[in-house]
Amino acid sequence: MIFCNLASGSKGNCSYISSNDTSILVDVGINCKAVEQRAAIVGIDISRVDAIIITHEHIDHMQGVCALSSKYNIPVYIHPSSYYSFVGKVGTEICNLKANSFDRPFDIGSLNINAFRVSHDAAYTQGFTISDGEKSIVMATDLGYLNDNVYKRMQNADYIYIESNYDQSMLFNGKYPKYLQYRIDGKNGHLSNVETSNAIARLYLENGRKRFMLAHLSQNNNTPDVALQTLFSTLGQHNIDVKDIEIAIADQANPSEIITI
């Protein structure tokens, strides 16, 4: 199974996962042309994508979904609550959306999709465990906190794509209005660098999880350096050798490397 993040952050999110015979996108929050350009950079053929699955209806996860799904005739699986919220905002049912309850795992070709609900301020927000039967990835961005269910998913995953959204002091000393600061920091907002770093340390110590991509970094309240410094200092506090853990950082403007899971 391979994984590639094409975009990550508040200006748009899109990831690609492929097994031998099946390819999917998770979210299309950048425009169709940007998806095509970034896919071309890493050698991904978008015309062969079998399905798109949606975490939630926020615009940074769905901006390009109608154009892309219409152009390539790709079905889009979306939770009914997200569906109605999105259609309500956009005004009309304009693309290939298929409301899907995600209440039990299902297959798209040889990939198994197992959704789990997370705490976030959309109509409905979910993360995914995606498996090809041998290996699995857990994808969890846009969540206010890591509950036990999400954490258990990560304990068993071969690769973990996890949000590291903000640095708390940058957030609270920054320009955002107070209500927005509290929204981001709250239980229905996003994960901070500290929360994510603590989870990574625990997942390594208790479960031997070693492969992570930090995702959805805020452009205003975080930087890759700050996120990494926080992580490295947390690992240091637990006497974990940084070299034992594989860390990538998903970028807003560029595709990641193709990662073999």
- Binding string, residues 17-56; x marks residues near Zn ion by CB under 5 A: ----------------------------------------
- Which of residues 60, 132, 163, 195 is near Zn ion by CB under 5 A? 60
Indicate whether 57 belongs to the interface with Zn ion (CB under 5 A). no
Q: Which structure tokens are listed for 191?
A: 């994960």
Indicate whether 167 belongs to the interface with Zn ion (CB under 5 A). no
Residue whose CB is nearest to Zn ion in the complex, by number: 58
Indicate whether 195 belongs to the interface with Zn ion (CB under 5 A). no
Minimum distance, C-beta of residue 45 to Zn ion, in the bound complex (Å): 26
Indicate whether 163 belongs to the interface with Zn ion (CB under 5 A). no
How far, CA to CA in Å, does 245 sit from each of 152, 159, 232? 19, 11, 10
- Which of residues 27, 57, 132, 142 is near Zn ion by CB under 5 A? 142
- Paired with 113 in beta bridges are 106, 130
Asked if 156 contacts 136 with a C-beta cutoff of 8 angstroms, the reply is yes
Q: How many residues bind Zn ion (CB under 5 A)?
A: 3
Alpha helices in the chain (DSSP H): 32-42, 59-62, 65-72, 80-90, 148-155, 168-172, 178-185, 193-207, 224-237
Q: Please give the Cα distance from 144 to 180 (Å, whole number).
A: 13
What residues make contact with Zn ion under the rule CB under 5 A?
58, 60, 142
